[in-house]
Each structure stands twice: as C-alpha cells, then as structure tokens.
Amino acid sequence: MDKSLQKTEQEEIESKRKVYREAKEQTRKNARRLRFDESNPQPKKDSVDSPRKRFYRQRAHSNPFSDHRLDYPKSPESMDWSKYYPQYHDKESNNMLQDVEIADIGCGYGGLLINLSKEFPKTLCLGMEIRVQVTQYVEDRIIALREQNKSKDINYQNIAVIRGNAMKFLPNFFKKSQLSKMFFCFPDPHFKQRKHKARIITNTLLSEYAYALKVGGIIYTITDVEDLHNWMVEHLTEHPLFERLDKQWEDQDKCVEIMYNSTEEGQKVERNKGDKFIACFRRLPDPEI
C-alpha cells in the first residue's frame, strides 16, 4: 500500500479512537459525579454502551519499578472507597458499610471481576491494573454494566477497578488481614533471568501479600507459562506463611472454575489450545514471635 495512504488511514484510526475515548471519558466523569449527586441528568443512552476493546490498545508491558504518575492513598485509612462503591457507602455516617475483600491483581480487561461479581454479589471486589487505558476500559465496562442492570439483583455495584502498581502500593490500599482472596491470573512472565525480580510473586512480596490476607485467606494463581508456574509454586511453597491446597480442593472450589475460564488472557490461551497451570495457597497463621 502507498505509504502516505497508509499514514492517513493510521491517522484516521487514531482520531476515531480519540473521539471515542473522549466521549467515554465524559461518561466516566458523569458517572463519578452521579455517585454523589443522583439528581444529575441521565447520561445519553449511547454513551453507556459496553466499551469496545479495540479503542483501548496499549503496549503490553509496563515496568513495575518506574515511577509513573500514580494516584494512591497515603494509607489505607485515608482511601476514599465511596467513589468506587457508592452503594456501599453510608452517606449519613460517611462510612463504608464493608471493606474490599477480594483483589484481582493485574486484572487486565476485567473478565474475572465480572464473574466474581455474579458469584459473590455481596462482597466487594477490586481489580488493580497498572496500564491506564486498560484500567479505563474496565471502568467503562463496569459503568455500562451498572447502567444496564440497574434494577436487577446482580447490579455490579460490588466491583471496581483502580489504576495502581500492586507491587509497590498494595499496603497503601489494604489494612492488615483485610483480604480473603487474591487472584494472580496470567501474570506477566518476565522470562529473562535478569528480570525475575520484576515478577509479581517473589519471596519478599509474598510477605506483603500475607500481611493483607486474613489467616485462611487464599492466593489463586493461574498461568499458561510452565516455567512461571513452577516459579510461583516454588516461592509460595518456600514461604512459611503459605500452604498449597491439593487437587481435590481445587476441584470443588468455585473460584478455581471461574478463574479457569473467565479472564481474557485465559480465553486467549483456550483459543490457542495452550496449557493452564493452577496453584492455590492458604494463608497460615503467623508463628509465635
């Protein structure tokens, strides 16, 4: 194809993407405002359609060590969750009625969250994702689902997404023993030896995850990369605060089933007929100190 033609086409796509995303941004802003002021005019019908993924492309990898420009609370106590779960916020006392209990770390396009919402409609679930546009996609997806399911039992008010670097700032969001489940679905593999410290499961990070998890809480992992699976199993097994759950347990656990099928990455692996490796670990009590 002619180079210049290619270029204009490229530009056209870009500008379309831009217009689309600007409209969505307006919807997000409205939705945020709406959460406080319900008398606001309803957003136009077409702007709350489910978002289209192709408008939210982003580079596949993000460096967990870099600064970015992240918004994160100064401490878990100073986190304002009311913006994320307005229906679980008591206006009178200005308190949250519940805390977040399930975290999907590196949630990608949010498929797991949506299925968790159906399985645990009364539990607050949070997706944490480092890529901005991917996070915006999930946010738009939740806005649309909430809008489309307003009067239904399952209304998606219990799920939300936050842009954040879970490896650095998890302790800013969650108090000690706050979480009952943490999901690590198809984490970035960081193949090179030199990059292993960038992996989201390391001995030292596990101590921080253990802090956020209740005793008895579960870490779920799934990946299609066998080497990464072995790595996660090795590190979790080595860690004194975790104990592996057996196949029998996996077979009867509802979340294992959900995790197996519902994430976008998992579906991609399915289409490519790849393997999926699962490992789940329970948080053990702290030893006598």
Partner 1 sequence: MKHPYQNIVSTSTHLFVSVQNHLQAFDVEGNLVGSWKDTIGHEDLLKKQQLEKIEKLNQEPEIKRAENNKKVKIPKIPTPGPGAPTIYNYIRDLELTHDNKYLIGITDSDKSIIIFEINLNEDNCLKLIKRQTFPKRPCSISIADDNSTVIIGDKFGDVYKIPIIGENVPEKDLKPILGHVSLLTDVLITEHNGKQYILSSDRDEHIKVSNYPITYVVKHWLFGHDEFISSMVQFDFDRELLVTGGGDDYIYLWNWYGNKLLSKYPLRDLIEPLLDESHLPPERFLHEDSPKEISVVKMITMDKFVVVLFQKVNGLLVLEIKDETLHLVELFPLDYPLIDISAGGDKIFGLSEDKIITQFTFNGKLTIDDKEFKGMIENNPCEVQSKEEFYPLYTMNTLRKRSEH
Residues marked active site are found at 188
| 3-state SS, one letter per residue, for 175-209 | CCCCEEEEEEECCCCCCCHHHHHHCCCCHHHHHHH
Of residues 35 and 282, the one with the C-beta less far from partner 1: 282
C-beta of 222: minimal distance to ligand SAM in Å?
Answer: 8
C-beta of 115: minimal distance to partner 1 in Å?
Answer: 29
Binding of residue 188 to ligand SAM (CB under 6 A): yes
Among 186, 209, 211, 242, binds ligand SAM (CB under 6 A): 186
d(CA 140, CA 149): 14
Which residues inside 132-151 make contact with ligand SAM, applying CB under 6 A? 134
Which residues inside 11-40 make contact with partner 1, applying CB under 8 A? none
Distances (CA, A) of 278 to 184, 223, 246, 249: 10, 7, 10, 12
**Residue 211 binding partner per list ligand SAM, partner 1, none, with a CB distance cut-off of 5 to 8 Å that depends on partner kind:** partner 1
CB of 211 closer than 8 Å to CB of 241? no
Tell me which stretch binds ligand SAM (CB under 6 A): 20-28, 159-167, 201-209, 232-240.
159-167
> Which residues are CB-neighbours of 181 under 8 A, at least 6 positions away?
101, 102, 103, 217, 218, 219, 220, 255
Binding of residue 287 to partner 1 (CB under 8 A): yes
C-beta of 163: minimal distance to ligand SAM in Å?
Answer: 8
C-beta of 207: minimal distance to partner 1 in Å?
Answer: 4
Tell me which stretch binds partner 1 (CB under 8 A): 8-16, 30-38, 125-133, 235-243.
235-243
Q: What is the CA 274 to chain-centroid distance, rounded?
A: 23
91-109 burial, b at 16+ Cβ within 10 Å, e below that, comes to: eeeeebeeebbbbbbbbbb
Q: What is the CA radius of gyration of the chain?
A: 20
Give counts: helices (H), strands (E), the chain: 9, 9
Q: Note the residues at the interface with ligand SAM (CB under 6 A).
A: 62, 64, 106-109, 128-131, 134, 165-167, 185-188, 200, 263-266
Q: Note the residues at the interface with partner 1 (CB under 8 A).
A: 64-65, 67, 69, 74-75, 77-78, 165, 167-169, 171-172, 176, 197, 202-208, 210-211, 239-241, 286-287, 289
